[in-house]
């Protein structure tokens, strides 16, 4: 991609109404554009990152048997009334009437509609277990939408739901998904700590995946060495005894919940009538779990934990491009470097702009944060070389232009 052709432009200053680091850098870098509080559009650069996050999620969930589907955002009042959430979730769910005064809502999660849909396909123990997921837009009337991509009112969620005949099968699958979550977060470049959190009706605890970060709205008591934590919501002496944890091994930290897994039991299947016939001919409610990740929140969290004063430092796995190629002094050689990188399938953003000073180009490379910067300049070419620097390091090195590719790993 040539920088001169890019749809978005970088900004020197962050908009004054954005206090969160992720929003500041992502807007300045041209990754996202703000529509209103809690509502952002993904520009081509940002969408490249988001798609990489989503594909990591897909790969790991497909490995544990998840099947991707795509549900509707428009929701029936009736489906949500069956569980009582049409009323109880009024504050978070956007609800409205059409011209004929019929009521609708926008999905803020999808337990009810998916349970209703599953009734078409699950009726026997032979139909179980099943696991389906989607990566889709959710709407929530979030009162505090001030954290950039971390708390949107319109945002992307990956939601996975699993259906089981018995608790043992659910418990096993739940652990498999927890492992898949570990893989997803570490591949995306964050350290997400599995955290005991409040469990609601059907299990003692749920599990949150929390990333320690100052911007976080959660408080956890964490043992970073052993990679475990407990959310303040459920933190008390009784719980610590229950877990067998020593209070002194835990430190209080702020954190961002990037994912959440939850045993639902029959909370949705019972009211919505999702049942199956077991092998002895008895009708039973299906046992369910749900598993969420916010891909946008995850992207924002990476920015929160991986940046310096100049900009973002993307992990290669989700960087918009692997290489940021900067051409100075109007040379022809940079074009050849660009062609070579492309022919090797290496993703490259090529700063070919000839109306920008070197300082501006370097500032943009630091702001956008691709893992490797290659500079082709009059000075480097005098040595028959290009200059290569990692975004995460300060030292640049000269590499002969005939075999610079070998320096890229
Ligand atoms: P929080 O307590 O932070 O509001 P939640 O418990 O409401 O989160 P879930 O309903 O479990 O979150 O949603 C699943 C995942 O979706 C969360 O773990 C988070 O990554 C993401 N998510 C939730 N709300 C938002 C939001 N407003 N903006 C962006 N991502 C979100
Ligand atoms: Mg919430």
* Beta pairing partners, 64: none
227 is written with which tokens?
Answer: 């990679």
Residue 159 alpha carbon, nearest atom of ligand 1 = 14
Q: Which-ligand-closest: CA of 198?
A: 1
pLDDT digits (tens, 9 = 90+) for 91-101: 999 999 999 99
Regarding the beta carbon of 129 and ligand 1, being less than 6 Å apart is answered no
Q: What is the pLDDT of residues 173-184, one digit of tens each?
A: 999 999 999 999
Give the fold, CATH level 3, of 11-308. Answer: BirA Bifunctional Protein; domain 2 (3.30.930)
* Number of the ligand 1 atom closest to the C-alpha atom of 258: 20
What is the predicted pLDDT for the residue at 201? 67
Q: Which of 257, 262, 264, 299 to mutate to test the pocket of ligand 1 (most atoms within 8 A of CB)?
A: 257
Give the pLDDT band (50/70/90) at residue 204. confident
pLDDT of residue 105: 98
What mean pLDDT comes out for the span 56-85?
98
Q: What per-residue confidence (pLDDT) applies to 61?
A: 98
What is the per-residue pLDDT for 200?
Answer: 67
What pLDDT, on the 0 to 100 scale, is given for residue 397? Answer: 97
User: What does pLDDT average to over the chain?
Assistant: 97
Cβ atoms within 10 A of the Cβ of 16, count?
6
In order of 179, 180, 187, 359, 377, the CA distances from 183 in angstroms are 6, 5, 6, 38, 40
Q: Which tens digits make up the pLDDT trace of 209-268?
A: 999 999 999 999 999 999 999 999 999 999 999 999 999 999 999 999 999 999 999 999
> Is the alpha carbon torsion for 265, 170, 207, 80 positive or negative?
negative
Atom 31 of ligand 1: nearest residue by CA position: 294
- Residue whose Cα lies nearest atom 1 of ligand 1: it is 257
So where are the chain's domains? 11-308, 321-408
Give 198 Cα–ligand 2 centroid separation in angstroms: 14
Does position 159 have pLDDT exceeding 90, yes or no? yes
- On whether the CB atoms of residues 313 and 392 are closer than 8 A, the answer is yes
**Do the domains 11-308 and 321-408 sit in the same CATH topology, yes or no?**
no
Identify whether the C-beta of residue 380 lies closer than 8 Å to the C-beta of residue 323: no
pLDDT for 202 equals 74
Average pLDDT on 91-118 reads: 97
Sorted by sequence, the CB contacts under 8 Å of residue 145 that are 6+ apart come out as: 37, 38, 39, 151, 152, 153
Determine whether domain 321-408 maps to CATH 3.40.50.800.
Answer: yes
Average pLDDT over residues 57-69: 98
Q: Is 294 in the pocket of ligand 1 (CB under 6 A)?
A: yes
Reported as a single tens digit per residue, the pLDDT across 293-331 is: 999 999 999 999 999 999 999 999 999 999 999 999 999
Ligand 1 contact via 156 beta carbon (within 6 Å): no
State if residue 257 touches ligand 1 by the CB under 6 angstroms criterion. Answer: yes
The arithmetic mean of pLDDT across residues 106-127, rounded, is: 98
pLDDT level of residue 170 (50, 70, 90 thresholds): very high
Reported as a pLDDT band with limits 50, 70 and 90, residue 129 is very high
pTM: 0.97
Coil, strand or helix: which one is 184? Answer: helix
Ligand 2 midpoint to CA 195 (Å): 16
Tens-place pLDDT, residues 347-363: 999 999 999 999 999 99
% of the chain exceeding 70 in pLDDT:
100
Mean pLDDT along residues 118-134: 98
Question: Which residues 6+ apart lie within 8 Å of 241 measured at CB?
Answer: none
Helices (H), 208-258: 237-243
């Amino acid at each position: 991609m040539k920088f001169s052709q890019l749809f978005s432009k970088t900004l020197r200053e962050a908009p004054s109404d954005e206090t969160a680091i992720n929003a500041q850098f992502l807007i300045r870098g041209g990754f996202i554009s703000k529509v209103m509080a809690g509502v952002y559009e993904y520009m081509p650069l940002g969408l490249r990152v988001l798609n990489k996050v989503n594909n990591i999620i897909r790969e790991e969930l497909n490995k544990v048997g998840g099947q991707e589907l795509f549900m509707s955002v428009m929701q029936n009042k009736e489906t949500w009334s069956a569980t009582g959430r049409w009323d109880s979730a009024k504050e978070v769910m956007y609800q409205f009437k059409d011209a004929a005064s019929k009521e609708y809502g926008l999905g803020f999660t999808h337990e009810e509609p998916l349970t209703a849909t599953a009734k078409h396909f699950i009726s026997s123990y032979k139909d179980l277990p099943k696991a389906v997921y989607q990566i889709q837009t959710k709407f929530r009337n979030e009162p505090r939408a001030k954290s950039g991509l971390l708390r949107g009112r319109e945002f992307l969620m990956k939601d996975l739901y699993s259906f089981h005949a018995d608790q043992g099968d659910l418990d096993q699958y739940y652990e498999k998904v927890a492992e898949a979550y570990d893989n997803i977060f570490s591949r995306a470049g964050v350290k997400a700590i599995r955290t005991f959190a409040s469990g609601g009706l059907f299990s003692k605890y749920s599990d949150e995946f929390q990333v320690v970060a100052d911007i976080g709205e959660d408080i956890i008591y964490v043992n970073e060495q052993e990679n475990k934590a407990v959310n303040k919501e459920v933190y008390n002496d009784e719980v610590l005894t229950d877990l067998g944890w020593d209070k002194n091994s835990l430190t209080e930290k702020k954190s961002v919940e990037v994912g959440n897994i939850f045993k639902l039991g029959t909370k949705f299947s019972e009211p919505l009538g999702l049942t199956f016939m077991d092998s002895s001919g008895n009708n039973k409610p299906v046992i369910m779990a749900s598993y969420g990740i916010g891909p946008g929140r995850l992207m924002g969290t990476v920015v929160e934990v991986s940046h310096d004063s100049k900009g973002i430092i993307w992990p290669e796995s989700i960087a918009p491009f692997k290489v940021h190629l900067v051409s100075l002094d109007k040379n022809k050689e940079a074009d050849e470097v660009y062609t070579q990188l492309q022919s090797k399938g290496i993703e490259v953003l090529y700063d070919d702009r000839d109306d920008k000073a070197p300082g501006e180009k370097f500032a943009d490379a630091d702001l956008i944060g691709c893992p490797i910067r290659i500079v082709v300049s009059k000075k480097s070419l005098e040595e028959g070389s290009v200059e290569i620097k990692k975004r995460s390091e300060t030292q640049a090195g000269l590499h002969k232009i005939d075999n610079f590719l070998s320096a890229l790993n």
